[in-house]
Amino acid sequence: MLIPASTSSGSVSSDSVLQLYFRGSRQHVFQVSDLVCLQGDGNYTWLHWRNRPSIIMPKTLKQLAGMLPSDGFVRVHRNSIVNCEYIERVERLKTGLGAIHLLNGTVVPVSRRRWEVISELLSNA
């Protein structure tokens, strides 16, 4: 469950925390700003963190996407969402697809359909 930090506008900020519950354990709290990317895998989603091991959650990417702040996260593929703060470089492949190289070494595909949005977003940054 994502708990937004209190803001005057009522929007979710990147200071939000992600409260995760694991079977047989207590609650774990993570800063959303430490989340590098999310990668969907069927009914599960891998959460890749800046300074900790990746975690797999029994939630779809769509379920988690609706809980993330829109100002720092962007969907780049049907199975991937990235935190713009951790993008190292972006490249266009000969196939028309793209690839985003993240600071933690993860390479995330960019779909043809979302390439223009990503290019525009990064050129404005």
Structure tokens at 65: 């996407």
Q: What is the CATH number of the domain that holds 60?
A: 2.40.50.1020
**CB contact at 8 A, 108 and 99:** yes
d(CA 30, CA 19): 6
- 11: containing domain: 2-124
Residue 108 burial by CB count (10 A; 0-12/13-18/19+): exposed, middle or buried?
buried
Tell me which residue of 65, 1, 15 sits closest to 38, measured CA to CA.
Answer: 65
Number of domains in the chain: 1
- In this structure, how many other beta carbons lie within 10 angstroms of the beta carbon of residue 26? 6
pLDDT tens digits, residue range 71-104? 889 999 999 999 999 999 999 988 888 999 999 8
Global pTM value: 0.79
* Statement: residue 125 has pLDDT above 90: no
